[in-house]
Amino acid sequence: MLKKFGITGFEKAVFAAILLLLITVTYMFYNYPEQLWLAVQEDAIFENLTVSFLGICLVICIYNARKLFLKKKYAGFTTYVFISLALFFVIGEELSWGQRIFNIQSGEYFINNNTQAETNLHNLQLGNVKINKLIFTQIAAVLVAVYFLFSRIICSKIKIFNRLWDKFCIPLPKIHHTIFFYFAFIVVYAFNYKRNSEVMELIFPMIFMLIFLFPYKPKEKASVKPAFI
């Protein structure tokens, strides 16, 4: 039944993994809350898995960038280079740019202005404004909502966006990517797990991994073939 929706076996496996993750987290929330709290701390299993999936996304994007470059689709190449740099930045932020790995002391500025006294930007607090809350929660929430709910409609129906989408090979989510993303989002925030943002931070790259591998494209248009599948 799922074949007619264009869901691949690999996507089914990832969706099953996300579902198992949600079931496990929900069970731990009610039965082992202390262990769950430990699992979502810095350098614990959730952060390590998040960085791992971000790394996979980075490899896929570099692969797609190289393939587009060889096809002389330089606009699409630029898109994937930009995404790759953004992923590299996010990975660096997640790891505090290796600070905890190499046991590097934060500078005075970050000690005084970072909510975790770490060398990264997303935990900075400038006056009463928390960068993490402003950019990575409020603004990001709006952008993600537009991306998952409206990007396909906008790029398919409005000619100028359609041309830009086609020229720059912008990866868009398929319907099942959107459905499963919001299903996970609703479950995570309905149960209000401790540090539920850490759970969503893990699910984010898992979903985007699928989008980078299997982006939405009209049947009549060629798509970048998925990496490693």
| Beta carbons within 8 Å of 178's beta carbon, 6+ residues apart | 148, 149
Q: What is the pLDDT of residue 224?
A: 45
Q: CB–CB of 207/181 below 8 Å?
A: yes
Residue boundaries of the structural domains of the chain: 9-101+131-213
CB atoms closer than 10 angstroms to residue 73: 18
Is residue 16 packed enough to be buried (19+ CB in 10 Å), middle (13-18) or exposed (0-12)?
exposed
Q: Which amino acid is at 205?
A: P
Q: What is the pLDDT of residue 24?
A: 95
pLDDT tens for the chain, residues 1 to 229 = 555 567 999 999 999 999 999 999 999 999 999 999 999 887 889 999 999 999 999 999 999 999 999 999 999 999 999 999 999 999 998 888 888 778 888 888 888 888 787 888 777 887 777 777 666 667 788 889 899 999 998 988 899 999 999 999 999 999 999 999 999 999 998 887 767 888 999 999 999 999 999 999 865 454 445 544 3
| Beta carbons within 8 Å of 141's beta carbon, 6+ residues apart | none
- Quick one: how far is CA 45 from the chain centroid? 17
pTM of the model: 0.87
